[in-house]
Structure 1
Amino acid sequence: MKMRTKPRAIWLYAVLLGAFSLVAHAQDVPLGANVESLLDFARSRNPEYASMRYEAEAAAERVTPAGALPDPKFRTELRDITRMGDQSPTLAPARVGSTRYLLMQDVPWLGKRDLKREIAELDARGADGRASGTWAELAARIKTAYSQLQYVHRNEQLTREILDLMTRLEKIAQVRYAGGLAAQQDVIRAQVEQTGMKSELVALENERRQWQARLNALLARPSASPLAVPERLRTLPAPAQLDPRALEERVRTKNPQLFAEEARIRSAEKNRELTYKNRYPDFTLGVSPIQYQGSVKEWELMVELNLPLQQGSRRAQERESEAMLSAAQARRDATANQVLGELAENLSGFDAARRTETLAATSLLPQSELTFKAALAGYETGKVDFATLLDAQRQIRQARQGRIKAQAEAQLRLAEIERILGEDL
């Protein structure tokens, strides 16, 4: 039994040790390997989004007080504290002429409390919409920064690959120059090309640091915090998911800005109803026991109401509520026109970027590679000059850069489309 248990214990210890090492390694890996990790981090750390969430929570807490009755009021009156001049002034209820206790409760006109509660609920929905809009904007900025960071990183990789290629071409030119088959100018031109690429690498490194600082700011991290190298592009949606009519319907129902504007319209409608109800009086009800010396001998009931006689003031308030409703409706229409226009623009840009990337991958890049191979073979045999070889190399670089740029453009357009929708595709 001991011989069987010992290997099992060793195996279990090894598994646990491996699991702990994996967890420790995962904790040491910096953010940035994919955009999902950045979004998860920002959702819980970004202060701008946190402030909007707290504002939405505060708005939700206003619903219950808005529909509640006002606090009751209690009043005490000590009457005839000198007992018709027979005693010195006193504040003892049992020694004065009489003591009146009054308990009062304000009661709004029928329906006003419900309207106030509904207005508060709609305001809370509007706050939720604004919080969702803040997150959609933040997520789009993170996706944009991530795609730009990835674009710069891939450009750096491409430039280093082309730099290695130019180093090999320089060696070929040196061999041909040493054999008297090429001019020294070929070697010099290859070195000039390499110097230009090294300058580009410096600029790309600076741009990469700027995008990293921007991403860290969105994540509420120190600007110099490390970020992992972007590993992969986000998967682009299928063409069927980008049907303009279907997306327009989704925008009308799910766009955070339109959601907030719809809530504002409903709130303005309820506020108009409440304003018209102000034509009717509010009441104050009260009950009053009256104490004589040591016992209560009288009871009184009270009703009080305000008289809505200031008709000019109320008509102005009603016209104000109508104007606010019209303003909310106009604002909703303007927002709808804006977001639908942005949607159409980004759908067109996305389609163009996808088609450009397809052309670069299936046509331009293979043709450029064939041209370069032919030019390299021709230069080695002396059939073409070095300028032709450089032009062929530049064509390959431009084709690959064009493909990378088109892919980055598609990612940017996708981020904008999802921002307008308020959700991922």
Structure 2
Amino acid sequence: MARGTSRAQPGVVQPTHDISRSVLASGWRRSPRGHLALVLVLLSPLVALAREETRTPVTRAAPASALPTDATLEQLLAEALEARPELRQAEAQVRAARERVPQAGALPDPVLQVGIQNDGFDGLMIGEMEGSYISIMASQALPFPGKRALRTEVARLGATAVSARVARARLSIEAEVRRGYLDLLLTRERLVLLDRLQALWKQSADMARIRYETGEGAQSDLLRAQLELNRLRQRQLALRAEERVRVQSLNRQSGRPLDEPLPTTTRVRDVGVPELGDREAAERDSLERSPELAERRALMAQAEQQMALARRERLPDFTVSAGVMPRGGDFPPMWQASVGVNLPVFSGRMRSRVVAESGAQTESTTHAVAALEQDLRLRVRERLIALEALRDTVAIYRDGLLMQSAATAESTLTQYRVGRASFASVLEANTGIIRDEEDYLRTLVDAQRLAIAQAEVSLEPVASMGGGGQGAGGMPGAGSAPSASARGAAPAGSAPGAAPSTSSSMSGM
């Protein structure tokens, strides 16, 4: 990047380097008015930025069911749902489970027997002896009435439970793409902040150089400014590498070539603070849409049907047989019909254990459903509490903190000019507002991640918040829910090729 330039970003005031150079050249040595003009030129981008934030009201994003999006994100989501093998895997598992339903209620195959009965061993006596004949017998086993229907229902409920994995895969894939896109936006906006900080360092280095040339400042101030410029270049390289990794991760998630560029027009500050609605509505939404809860409820119903089937299995099955015996000659053919029934002599004790096992399984799944409902309500309340704290934090940034940071930087530069502040204070003041804005952006990202987790119906807990001022990256608890289907029977957990965590911070910012 050329000296004195920075990335253009919509809505961001850029430093006016031509004006600053003219002030440095002509106003520094002439009068205190020139000194004040230099300070105002250096701080004008930051003050304008702070005023922009304070003029902009806190926007409320759409509910979790309608998360903010743009054309690029919509395309990524559509391609991810089309290309992800995890979703195809879950759909194949559902098809396999549904194919088991008609199998469960099918009758066993009939048995066909062909035989011969003959008098003596000297030759075939069919048609000559009354007791000699050919027999053709068919038999069919018939389960006790109601068993087939129960077996079919058990298999159907099992398929219903498996089908919840498709819903989990879709929710988790969408959440994974949204989080990756949000991280990409944050990384690119951090690069813009870093460019702006680099411009401020260059201006501060010019100030330190002029003070040193006029004998009013120390050479160490100039060396310190040059040192920080080199450190900024290192951080720029790291952030640009992180940007490439995030682009490749999103491309992998959507089935694109890894190096295909992803242009973005949305800024983190544009997405606003989401609104999850009132507690009762959010809890009801989670209970209705949770794939895990739907799966466990299907398993609970399946366990109840299995217990009913286990009781009915103690009843005997029937076998119906019929046959005809042609005897040949002048002898009329004979026929036979019979009905058999199973005698539970040895299986009776086993059947009672099967009933007891089914009862215990039903009780277990009932408690599992109750526990999951409690977890879902807890996660919703955790997200609502965390989101309220983040919303208040954003208000603090917009209502005063950014303006106060800009005013502090302006005051420190003025005091440095008259010798009442050290250059270290100037350096800290120059980076303070950039650091505050980065923390402000991270707070917005954390809020959006909570909304994404709510839309995903995530079961992952919300981690404790360290506060925006600490530069805590994405909240771990605002991530993804455990899912075997969307993670390749792992995320929608960490996605393969996932980008580095957003918790990495810019040292010195």
TM-score, reference length from structure 1: 0.81
- 1:61 is matched with which residue: 99, 122, 126? 99
Find the counterpart in structure 2 of residue 343 from structure 1.
380
Q: Does 1:317 align with 2:347?
A: no
Give 1:267-306 correspondences, 5 Å limit.
267-293=302-328, 297-306=333-342
Find the counterpart in structure 2 of residue 19 from structure 1.
none
Distance 1:57 1:314 in 2: 31
Q: Sort the Cα spacing of 1:349 and 1:36 in 2 relative to 1 into closer, same or farther, 3 A.
A: farther
Find the counterpart in structure 2 of residue 43 from structure 1.
81
Give 1:78-227 correspondences, 5 Å limit.
78-80=116-118, 84-87=120-123, 97-219=132-254, 224-227=258-261
Structure 2 unmatched ranges of 5 or more: 1-69, 460-509
State the shift of 1:382 in Å.
6.0
Letter in 2 for 1:336: E
- 1:72 is matched with which residue: 107, 110, 113? 110
Q: Sort the Cα spacing of 1:102 and 1:296 in 2 relative to 1 into closer, same or farther, 3 A.
A: farther
State the shift of 1:237 in Å.
7.1
Counterpart contact for 1:163–1:197, Cα < 8 Å: yes
Distance 2:205 2:332 in 1: 114
List per-residue Cα deviations over 1:186-228 (Å, max 9, x = no partner): 2222112212222222332333344344434444556x43240
Residue correspondences, number = 382
Q: Sort the Cα spacing of 1:391 and 1:296 in 2 relative to 1 into closer, same or farther, 3 A.
A: farther
Distance 1:361 1:164 in 2: 24
Q: Sort the Cα spacing of 1:302 and 1:88 in 2 relative to 1 into closer, same or farther, 3 A.
A: closer
State the shift of 1:171 in Å.
2.1
CA RMSD, 1 decimal: 2.9
Letter in 2 for 1:305: V
Structure 1 unmatched ranges of 5 or more: 1-31, 91-95
Distance 1:248 1:188 in 2: 58
Distance 2:364 2:272 in 1: 39
Letter in 1 for 2:117: R
Find the counterpart in structure 1 of residue 50 from structure 2.
none
Find the counterpart in structure 1 of residue 475 from structure 2.
none
- 2:432 is matched with which residue: 373, 377, 395? 395
Letter in 2 for 1:327: S
SS at match of 1:287: strand
Q: Does 1:355 align with 2:392?
A: yes
Distance 1:253 1:421 in 2: 13
Counterpart contact for 2:111–2:138, Cα < 8 Å: yes
Distance 2:307 2:272 in 1: 46
State the shift of 1:378 in Å.
5.3
Counterpart contact for 2:272–2:444, Cα < 8 Å: no
State the shift of 1:315 in Å.
1.1
Counterpart contact for 1:33–1:230, Cα < 8 Å: no
Letter in 1 for 2:300: I
Higher mean displacement: 166-175 or 249-258:
166-175
List per-residue Cα deviations over 1:24-80 (Å, max 9, x = no partner): xxxxxxxx9743322222212212221111101111222222223223332222333
How much identity, in percent, do the aligned residues show?
26
Higher mean displacement: 53-62 or 202-211:
202-211
State the shift of 1:143 in Å.
2.3
Q: Sort the Cα spacing of 1:227 and 1:335 in 2 relative to 1 into closer, same or farther, 3 A.
A: farther
Letter in 1 for 2:334: E
Letter in 1 for 2:262: A
- 2:293 is matched with which residue: 258, 278, 282? 258
Counterpart contact for 2:112–2:137, Cα < 8 Å: yes
SS at match of 1:106: strand
Find the counterpart in structure 1 of residue 457 from structure 2.
420
Counterpart contact for 2:141–2:317, Cα < 8 Å: yes
SS at match of 1:302: strand
State the shift of 1:254 in Å.
1.8
- 2:277 is matched with which residue: 233, 242, 247? 242
- 2:262 is matched with which residue: 228, 242, 245? 228
Distance 2:395 2:322 in 1: 83
Q: Sort the Cα spacing of 1:399 and 1:290 in 2 relative to 1 into closer, same or farther, 3 A.
A: same
Distance 1:296 1:366 in 2: 113
TM-score, reference length from structure 2: 0.68
Q: Sort the Cα spacing of 1:288 and 1:277 in 2 relative to 1 into closer, same or farther, 3 A.
A: same
Counterpart contact for 2:274–2:451, Cα < 8 Å: no
Counterpart contact for 2:247–2:262, Cα < 8 Å: no
SS at match of 2:333: strand
Higher mean displacement: 381-390 or 166-175:
381-390
Distance 1:44 1:299 in 2: 63
Counterpart contact for 1:289–1:296, Cα < 8 Å: no
List per-residue Cα deviations over 1:328-368 (Å, max 9, x = no partner): 11222232233332222222222222322232133211222
Distance 1:366 1:336 in 2: 45
In terms of fraction of residues, the more helix-rich structure is: 1
Distance 1:114 1:407 in 2: 54
Distance 1:60 1:336 in 2: 27
Counterpart contact for 2:125–2:132, Cα < 8 Å: no
Counterpart contact for 1:150–1:230, Cα < 8 Å: yes
Counterpart contact for 2:79–2:255, Cα < 8 Å: no
Counterpart contact for 1:66–1:117, Cα < 8 Å: yes
Find the counterpart in structure 2 of residue 21 from structure 1.
none
Counterpart contact for 1:250–1:421, Cα < 8 Å: no
SS at match of 1:242: coil
List per-residue Cα deviations over 1:372-396 (Å, max 9, x = no partner): 3444455556665533332221221
